[in-house]
Structure 1
Amino acid sequence: MSEDWCAEKLANLKLEENEKETLKEICTSLKECKSLESRITSKLIKSNEIFKYLDGADEENKNIASDILSMCMSNLVLSTSNENLTGILENSLKSKNPSIRSIALNEIWNALSRDVNRTLTDVDLVVLIIASLDSEETKDSAVAINILSKALLTTYDNTLVKSEFHQRLGKTDIIRCRVYEIAVNLGKHSETMLQKVHDVIDKALNEVENGDDVLLQMNILELMVSLAEVQHGLQYLENKKLFDKIGKRVQHQNLNRNPLDSFLIPGIMKFFGKIAYSQPESIIVGYPYMIQCLFDLILSGDLASLPTALDTLANVTGSSDGKMVVSTNYPEEHLREIFACLGGYLRTLPTDLKNRCFSALELIFQQDGKANNQISEIAEKWFFFIEESRNFEFLFSFIKNPFPEIKIACLNLIKTLSLYPWGVVGLKNTAGMIEYLLDRRVEFDKEAKQVKYELISILSETSVFDAHTILLLKKYVNEGPHYVEGILDVAVEGS
């Protein structure tokens, strides 16, 4: 495949009677060629002859031309110094056809992803990609955000780049949020980079503090969670007093002054909860009124707020550090009330919220790499606040429920509890539970069978049960999750 061959094929595309045959020939040759030369693929990418089919009405020609463009794009070498990348990609990135822009952006991102040390240094190309943030297509903008979050690490100081980037702050809410997301991604990278984009971050924070668009404020808070997960980002937000400012907005006296703030409560609770998972000491100890607000929401019984409250409690207590900090800083009587309330919800909530409660408890009792005997003791105490009995009798009723959703949610919780020594003992002390788990005839749902198999696999590795029970557990594991007993076996067992 030579430049002369390429020139000949492009010339043939100008002849209407040869176009379809020529397009197919180019496509076939590209597929068969083991090593494509960049000067050939670059010429095809820039070719107006190829682009006219991408915008044309003939669907077959459009599909073939799209395949040609994709193959050529995949051959791009972003570090090539003797080629004008902007010139090669300009037609694609400026195209009004979203599928063409998408091909170019995706291949740029793929090239960057293949080499973590590679970035874009072509300022003009970066400016073209910044312009892609204006696209109405979410897929285009998402890829552009990924590219720019990497490329701007080395090009942000360029005057043209910074000017184009900042221009988007004067556009729609959606476009501004895209800029904020990139700024957060850059700021997470290092303290130095955070200082460079601080004016963009500050504008976002100002919208949270002083704006009146609740949806926009919630979206920005979601972005700020990511920044707060790194220590220098958390420190920056604390210095800006973001936590104090938004936290006070959910206090009763302030809600009376501005009832609209009540719509922000779910977003604010999620914000604090997600940060508490990675920074429990800072949030749980530093902002106790937010934890109190969380507890009040759980005890309130407000079904509209309960999903957010359950998710937030799971984030706050999901890590070992979170369990430790909560246990140390809150009275046992208070925690007993919270978990007893959750136990009541398991019995009384509608099915969807009941499943949400099971999922939250599963996350609360999960173990991470820091789990130890002290964490096990805390988890045991909290679990038996839910139900005072020292067995799993109340959970047994849920796994016998005919609705698969509830059964699976409960089995997942039991699987998590079985990773604790006291959890296995609780299972053992529940009359009939092990026998029920081992009975394959009571389960028909595929997912339930799988979760039950995973639970039994854990139990089979413990030393709590007698030798006969261990043998049955291991037999179940060896047979697999979907084993079906033979008719003869069933008949004998039922006789």
Structure 2
Amino acid sequence: MAAQAMALLREVTRLEAPLEELRALQSVVQAVPLSELREQAADLRLGPLFSLLDEHNREQTTLCVSILERLLQAVEPIHVARNLRVDLQKGLTHRDDSVKILVLSQIGRIVENSEAVPEILNNAELLKQIVYCIGGENLSVAEAAIKSLSRISLTQAGLEALFESNLLDDLKNVMKTNDIVRYRVYELIVKISSVSSESLNYCTTSGLVTQLLRELTGDDVLVRSTCIEMVTSLACTQHGRQYLAQEGVIDQVSNIIVGADSDPFSGFYLPGFVKFFGNLAVMDSPQQICERYPVFLEKVFEMTESQDPTMIGVAVDTVGVLGSSVEGKQVLQKAGTRFERLLMRIGHQAKNASTELKIRCLDAVSSLLYLPPEQQTDDLLRMTESWFSSLSRDSLELFRGISNQPFPELHCAALKVFTAIANQPWAQKLMFNSPGFIEYVMDRSVERDKVSKDSKYELVKALANSKTIAEIFGNQNYLRLRAYLSEGPYYVKSVATTAVEGAE
């Protein structure tokens, strides 16, 4: 069959209008195993196929793209880079986006290959065309170009090619296309900057990072909301955080939050700014961030009292992230009665809000209440018990009621709350004393789908593996939990049937 494909390929490249032959070739190459095509790779002449990418014949182009996608998989990246460099270059200027995506996927293979990547770096015109692909209307084309350029920048030679040549001017020209394209270039710069201090240094020297930060702290509220997401990505690296701190960016963001109360348009950027500090707190120290920038936690508490579901959602998410560590829990505990009111608010939203916000509240509660066994001091256990009680008049019944709703996402989110507290003695006592709760845990018929079965199994596992469960639940219930655990999440009890003579 591989021989048939080779014969058809030779025939196709001799014809001017080979539609019928292309259809036949497409069918054959899809049927030939890739291993067989690889054996013929040395004889594959793909240049003529590239020349058949006719801008005026959509079907012919589509067929050629499909055939090339398959055949190129059989060719080593180094051979693609060396033997098809002119075809790749032409492909990036083709009017059909499917051709650009085909070429960029091959460039993606080449830049992943250490032997082949110099072929790209030494081709200034090809690099220029990749840069200009960022400015295209098709998002898939732009994303593929960004991915390739960020991969190229992982080497010293790649950084020099991007930032110490005319390519930097091309990058700045592309940015002028429109706002969307400018943000795409910022996205690329942040990806590169996040790799290492050296990469960040190249990007700052180019002036593009400074330009991004200037827009972040500028007066355009919509631009702020977009730029803060990128700056947050940079802040996820230690060298990125150090740079932002040295440049005074973190202080500037804090000051903008302080002034947000008098800004009627603050709703556009506040959620992003709060997320930024939430990430800082997780990456560094919750206590240090909250002490140095008290406006952050103050704004989170304010946002939970908002009538805007977007603000509430961001605040709830932030509290969950902040309270995922013991240090973060202790920071929140210091807020005293104010944090208790926040917990009541979360409990209210978990019961009454939209499904999406309910799930976010349940996820936050799970993060807040979870304590690894090795961190379960008496003080922390009293704290989580107090928090659980603050959520509702009868918090166990609240979450049990949510878990009985016929929505898998809500059901699993409620089970996640039970799993979070399942290894804490106070919670085990609550569960044991709640009528029907143990039966609910052991009842497999409640779970109708795989995700729900997996969630219930995680709850059973957390209970069964707890050191205090046998004492609190009793040996019989403990053995039932161990049996459930050994049977696995998808066990179905077989029902024996006996045939009775004469029965219908």
If the TM-score is normalised by the length of the shorter chain, which range does it land in?
A: 0.7 to 0.9
Q: Find the partner of 1:288 among 272, 285, 294.
A: 294
In 2 relative to 1, CA 462–319 (structure 1 residues): closer, same or farther, beyond 3 Å? closer
Residue matched to 1:398: 402
| Structure 2 residue 111 is the aligned partner of structure 1 residue 109 | no
Once the two structures are superposed, the pairs formed by residues 213-362 of structure 1 within 5 Å of their partners are 213-214=221-222, 216-251=223-258, 254-256=260-262, 258-281=263-286, 283-300=289-306, 302-327=308-333, 330-362=334-366
Displacement, 1:103?
Answer: 1.1
Letter in structure 1 aligned against 2:133: S
In 2 relative to 1, CA 107–16 (structure 1 residues): closer, same or farther, beyond 3 Å? closer
Displacement, 1:283?
Answer: 2.9
In 2 relative to 1, CA 383–353 (structure 1 residues): closer, same or farther, beyond 3 Å? farther
Distance 1:298 1:15 in 2: 66
Summarize deviations over 1:341-367 as a string: whole Å, max 9, x none: 323433443444323211221233456
What secondary structure, in the 3-state scheme, does the structure 1 residue paired with 2:142 have? Answer: helix
- TM normalised by structure 1 equals 0.83
| Structure 2 residue 163 is the aligned partner of structure 1 residue 163 | no
Residue matched to 1:121: 121
In 2 relative to 1, CA 341–386 (structure 1 residues): closer, same or farther, beyond 3 Å? farther
Aligned length: 476
Displacement, 1:436?
Answer: 1.9
Residue matched to 2:453: 449
Displacement, 1:234?
Answer: 0.6
Unpaired segments ≥5 residues, structure 1 = 490-495
Displacement, 1:71?
Answer: 3.1
Contact 1:149 1:186 in 2 (8 A): yes
Letter in structure 2 aligned against 1:74: Q
Q: Find the partner of 2:436 among 432, 448, 471.
A: 432
Letter in structure 1 aligned against 2:304: I
Contact 1:366 1:416 in 2 (8 A): yes
Once the two structures are superposed, the pairs formed by residues 32-51 of structure 1 within 5 Å of their partners are 32-37=36-41, 41=44, 43-45=45-47, 47=49, 49-51=51-53
Summarize deviations over 1:280-329 as a string: whole Å, max 9, x none: 345323311111110121244544421111112122222344335545xx
In 2 relative to 1, CA 398–272 (structure 1 residues): closer, same or farther, beyond 3 Å? same
Distance 1:179 1:44 in 2: 33
Unpaired segments ≥5 residues, structure 2 = 498-504
Letter in structure 2 aligned against 1:288: P
Once the two structures are superposed, the pairs formed by residues 345-384 of structure 1 within 5 Å of their partners are 345-366=349-370, 372-373=374-375, 377-378=379-380, 381-384=383-386
What secondary structure, in the 3-state scheme, does the structure 2 residue paired with 1:14 have? Answer: coil
Summarize deviations over 1:102-139 as a string: whole Å, max 9, x none: 11112222343466995742333222211110121111
Contact 1:339 1:382 in 2 (8 A): no
Letter in structure 2 aligned against 1:13: L
What secondary structure, in the 3-state scheme, does the structure 1 residue paired with 2:489 have? Answer: coil
Displacement, 1:461?
Answer: 2.5
Once the two structures are superposed, the pairs formed by residues 50-61 of structure 1 within 5 Å of their partners are 50-52=52-54, 56-58=57-59, 61=60
Distance 1:203 1:277 in 2: 27
The CA RMSD measured in Å over matched residues stands at 3.6
- TM normalised by structure 2 equals 0.81
Q: Find the partner of 2:183 among 177, 191, 201.
A: 177
Distance 2:164 2:352 in 1: 60
Contact 1:105 1:144 in 2 (8 A): yes
Contact 1:85 1:125 in 2 (8 A): no
Contact 1:323 1:375 in 2 (8 A): no
What secondary structure, in the 3-state scheme, does the structure 1 residue paired with 2:163 have? Answer: coil
| Structure 2 residue 144 is the aligned partner of structure 1 residue 137 | no
Residue matched to 1:493: none
Letter in structure 1 aligned against 2:11: K
Q: Find the partner of 1:195 among 197, 201, 209.
A: 201
Distance 2:331 2:78 in 1: 49
Contact 1:45 1:72 in 2 (8 A): no
In 2 relative to 1, CA 348–121 (structure 1 residues): closer, same or farther, beyond 3 Å? same
Contact 2:49 2:64 in 1 (8 A): no
Identity of aligned residues (%): 23
Contact 1:298 1:310 in 2 (8 A): yes
In 2 relative to 1, CA 26–444 (structure 1 residues): closer, same or farther, beyond 3 Å? closer
